[in-house]
A and B are shown apart, each in its own frame.
Chain A
Amino acid sequence: MSKAARRVLPGFNLSLGYTLVYLSLLVLIPLAATFIKTSALTWEQFWQVTTTPRVLASYKLSFGTALFAAGINAVFGLLLAWSLVRYSFPGKKLVDSLVDLPFALPTAVAGIALTAIYSKNGWVGSIIEPLGYKIAFTPWGVLIALIFIGLPFVVRTVQPILQDLDTELEEAAASLGAHRWQTFRQVIFPALFPALLTGFALAFARAVGEYGSVIFIAGNIPLVSEITPLMIITKLEQYDYTGATAIAVVMLLLSFTLLLIINALQGWTSSRTGRDR
């Protein structure tokens, strides 16, 4: 109490209590329920359900494409954020609000629209399929959908940091004799990196669990283009709740591990660059 009383603003106990209740009700209890439901299985059964060839192939597809898509978004999201912050051009406000559209669009609509464009009679598909390339109904289609839905995350996390970054820093670096590349690599990039990682992590987390937009463009061919959320849905279709939650638990654990690694990486880089975040 005395510790809390010394703070400038009151209400520590209240806000902590509120935070805990809120998190428990909305996040922890539902997640705990998946674990409890899964615990009805023996280890052997759990292993059997979560490692069938189809499910294994789906982890590879879901996590592989999600990481790949988040990586692509990190690169192009950074570019986009840079353009939006550092340059002014006609229609900038419009472009800036376009970035958020993947958030707003119902995922099913996004999926259908993307499929329409990339399948063989669509704008893009009609050009590339005669050349022997296929995007819709292949893992590439999954990747495109995941890039689409993950785009806003990196832009929106990097943008405010870039805005706060004084151009004087770059000028100082230049006047001290740094090349352009050196300025970017040693002055700007370290400052942006933590935010970039956050954006990457968010884009990845969103992409791993994505169902609505992917399901239309994936084609859902066993061992080739079935995503893990589809495996969960097929279990539910046969009223196999425990099987469904078992796969969900594996997904959660894998995602959680990856997010922990990303967080650790972030902590490490911030301590290295001397920023206390």
Chain B
Amino acid sequence: MPTQQRVIRKAGLAVQLFSGLIGLGLSLGGTLVAHADTTLLNVSYDVTRELYKDVNPAFIKDWQAKTGEKLTINQSHGGSSAQANAVINGLQADVVTMNQSTDIDILNQRGNLVVKDWRKRLPNGSAPYTSTSVFLVRKGNPKHIKDWDDLVKPGVSVIVPNPKTSGNGRYTYLAAWGYTIQKGGKDAQARDFVRRLFLNVPILDGGGRGATTTFTQRGIGDVLVTFENEAILLDKEVGGDQFDIVYPSVSIEAEAPVTVVDKVVDKKGTRKQAQAYLEFLYSPEGQEIIAKHHFRPRNETLLKKYAKEFKPLKLFSVDSVFGSLEKAQKVHFDDSGEYDQIIIANAKERR
């Protein structure tokens, strides 16, 4: 019977296909098992891509020499807050390395992924390096921009990323506010100063790199206010001979905090490795790599060694002026906060 034969042949095909699939599944499973060395996931912000590309192999070597264990470290990069969001929503990060402490605080508040006093677990408030807001001007500094006061002068065009969507922009705002306070000004004067500064901002790019592109590629603006690491990178590696870095008299200390994600490492059993990874950032070797990527290391000796790059500068911390970054966020950047009021007032004045 031909039909029967056909059915049998079909069944045979199905069995073959099925066993093929199982075989595939098994071999996939096999490869997974074979590579079951400990794996860490470091969820970080945007501009640390190059930094951790150098840190990870150094740590893996160091860890293998000490313990014999072979580690694999995976990276995930994106906007700092978007990354925190992903971790809240279940991205299995062993460690998070962010550019603002609020992005780690939220991991405690939502889902209790990190202990409340995570800052106390590592030296320097768990921030192995810092950066600060500096100015990048066009070669020869044609508008004679020396300090924050020069940014509010009429006719000066200032490029700053949007403080609503960018940590870089938030630090610029806080630096300008803190500058007035450091000079002995009161909140009212600081508010007016920041308002006049943002009146000179023609474009609010979404992030730091966007602002950089606007300033360097589009030729817009007399001065770009951005993180020191970004400015040095531009001046050295991208700009050729088109820009100068200007250090203001005073600026803000922008700490880049790191922590182990407790819930994840306890589940995966990777606390030991994750902790060592973060401690490695504080080691002389780790700090040297950090300095090479233009972030200010905590290590005093290294800071002196690279003093040519990291000009000694009067820095104030966020906490000293605003209490904490969390408070600053609430008062200044949340909806209808100081920043919104300033920007709306400016929009009306421009009309």
B229 nearest CB across to chain A (Å): 21
A240 within 8 A of B: yes
Is B206 touching A215 in the complex (CB atoms < 8 A)? yes
Is B203 touching A243 in the complex (CB atoms < 8 A)? no
Is B335 touching A243 in the complex (CB atoms < 8 A)? yes
- Which of B41-49, B54-62, B210-218, B290-298 has 4 or more CB atoms under 8 Å from chain A? B210-218
Known: A137-B203, A224-B347. A239 touches B106 (CB 8 A): yes
Residue interface bits B201-223, CB-to-A below 8 A is 1, else 0 = 01111100010011001111000
A221 nearest CB across to chain B (Å): 7
A219 within 8 A of B: yes
List the A residue with the shortest CB-CB distance to B348. Answer: A223
B320 nearest CB across to chain A (Å): 23
| Among A53, A136, A220, A243, contact of B162 (Cβ-Cβ < 8 Å) | A220
Contacts of A54 in B (CB 8 A): 340, 344
Q: How far is the CA of A220 from the CA of B310 in the complex (A)?
A: 33
Contacts of A235 in B (CB 8 A): 335
Contacts of B81 in A (CB 8 A): 236-237, 239
Interface centre among A54, A219, A221 (most CB of B within 10 A): A221
- Which of A9-17, A69-77, A114-122, A150-158 has 4 or more CB atoms under 8 Å from chain B? A114-122
Is B335 touching A116 in the complex (CB atoms < 8 A)? no
A216 within 8 A of B: yes
A234 within 8 A of B: yes
Is B218 touching A240 in the complex (CB atoms < 8 A)? no
Is B218 touching A237 in the complex (CB atoms < 8 A)? no
Known: A215-B206, A220-B162. A238 touches B335 (CB 8 A): yes
User: By the criterion of a CB under 8 Å from any partner CB, how many residues of chain B are at the interface?
Assistant: 31
A52 within 8 A of B: yes
List the A residue with the shortest CB-CB distance to B85. Answer: A236
Known: A220-B162, A222-B343. A115 touches B202 (CB 8 A): no
Interface centre among A49, A54, A224 (most CB of B within 10 A): A54
Contacts of B82 in A (CB 8 A): 236
B86 nearest CB across to chain A (Å): 12
B319 within 8 A of A: no
Contacts of B336 in A (CB 8 A): 52
A165 within 8 A of B: no
Q: How far is the CA of A98 from the CA of B254 in the complex (A)?
A: 47
Instruction: List which A95-131 residues lie within 8 A (CB) of chain B.
Output: 112, 115-116, 119-122
Q: How far is the CA of A115 from the CA of B213 in the complex (A)?
A: 10
B12 nearest CB across to chain A (Å): 25
| Among A115, A120, A219, A237, contact of B164 (Cβ-Cβ < 8 Å) | A237
List the A residue with the shortest CB-CB distance to B110. Answer: A239
| Among B106, B219, B333, B344, contact of A121 (Cβ-Cβ < 8 Å) | B219
Is A234 touching B165 in the complex (CB atoms < 8 A)? yes
Known: A52-B335, A223-B344. A238 touches B219 (CB 8 A): no
Is B85 touching A121 in the complex (CB atoms < 8 A)? no
Known: A216-B210, A237-B81, A237-B164. A119 touches B344 (CB 8 A): no
Interface centre among A116, A215, A235 (most CB of B within 10 A): A215
List the B residue with the shortest CB-CB distance to A53. Answer: B344
A23 within 8 A of B: no
Is A219 touching B347 in the complex (CB atoms < 8 A)? no
Q: How far is the CA of A137 from the CA of B106 in the complex (A)?
A: 33
Residue interface bits B309-351, CB-to-A below 8 A is 1, else 0 = 0000000000000000000010001111000100110111000
Is A220 touching B335 in the complex (CB atoms < 8 A)? no
List the B residue with the shortest CB-CB distance to A55. Answer: B335
Contacts of A136 in B (CB 8 A): 218
Is B165 touching A240 in the complex (CB atoms < 8 A)? no
B309 nearest CB across to chain A (Å): 30
List the A residue with the shortest CB-CB distance to B210. Answer: A216
| Among B110, B165, B347, contact of A222 (Cβ-Cβ < 8 Å) | B347
Q: Which residues of A contact B (CB under 8 A)?
A: 49, 52-54, 112, 115-116, 119-122, 136-137, 215-216, 219-224, 230, 233-240, 243
Having A54-B340, A238-B329, one finds 4 other A-B pairs with CB under 8 Å, namely A137-B202, A221-B203, A221-B347, A239-B81
Would you list 23 pairs from A and B whose C-beta atoms are within 8 A, ordered by A residue? A49-B335, A54-B344, A119-B218, A119-B219, A119-B220, A120-B219, A122-B218, A219-B203, A220-B204, A222-B204, A222-B343, A222-B347, A224-B347, A230-B206, A235-B335, A236-B81, A236-B85, A237-B81, A237-B164, A238-B329, A238-B334, A239-B85, A243-B335
